[in-house]
Amino acid sequence: MAGVVVLGASGQLGSDLCQELARAGIPFTPLTHSDIEVCDHSQVREVLTRLRPDVVINTTAFHKVDLCEDEVERSFAVNCYAVRHLALLCQEMGARLVHISTDYVFGGDKESPYREDDPPNPLNVYGVSKLAGEYFVRHLCQKHLIVRSSGLYGLRGSTVKGGNFVETMLRLGRERGEVSVVTDQVLTPTYTPDLAAKIRELVEAEAQGTYHVTSGGHCSWYEFASHIFRLWDPTVKVHPTTSDAFPSRARRPRYSVLDNYRLRTEGFSLLRPWQEALAEYMARRRQLAASEGS
């Protein structure tokens, strides 16, 4: 494979993708927000036409879900219109566009995992803007790969969100000695190094279309938090609650588990169970904490 450009290279998934490409010996150019503003279409054109990549991996997004409800124009600028421009530009250059999307394109009214061909029904501005971006990718760029995932967490943390769910739980547990977490939102938390490795595999296989890629299994946020503290600090109490106890600007799907149907039926290996991935995350986090003396 020739050159790859990773947009959002300093983010939670982007940083793991860069590490994965480096391990595989694949030439790539990491571009962070300071290198390129995806909403500045003229800058995007200038940078990408100069680099002439064979593959563009777009991990950028405006994904503060509640804030999206208030900043609709910004949501669509990043998650939709910038993606449209990328799709047009990649089509023009003959490049493959790999675009990362979300389980929030679904409405949560299904009682079994969502397959790639299930009809979307987003409940919030974030989900609608991401779905609109997907449509532009599909219809404007012939060589494309859309990867939907769910509940991402990685050692880099999400710089936009100021951490990830695991880190938020650990901070609250440390400060309060107890946390309350919802039982009525079910998903699959996904470890970004595992996701990055599968994206690299799909790109090398020249996979086309939409794929769901998540860790194995599913759980509620409450079950996820309980497992976090079982591994890190069992003295922290985890209390079950419901979404009604945490009113928010954005509606969230009650059930957004993704069926990795295409991976399974096309002969790709599936990601390990979320419990195993979380155990590795916690072990690596302990190692980092020890090396930093904290």
Q: Any idea which residues carry the catalytic annotation?
A: 126
At 120, list the tokens: 């979307």
First to last CA, the chain: 41
- From residue 69, alpha-carbon distances to 94, 124, 155, 194, 250 in Å are 35, 7, 28, 30, 6
CB atoms within 10 A of CB 2: 9
d(CA 127, CA 184): 19
Element (H, E) at 96: strand 96-102
Give me the residues paired with residue 34 across strands. Answer: none
Q: How many CA atoms lie within 13 A of 202 on its CB side?
A: 33
> What distance in Å separates the CA atoms of residue 67 and residue 124, rounded to the nearest whole number?
11
**How far is it between the farthest Cα atoms of the chain?**
57
Query: Judging by DSSP bridges, how do beta strands 186-187 and 219-220 pair with one another?
Result: antiparallel
CA distance 257 to 6: 27
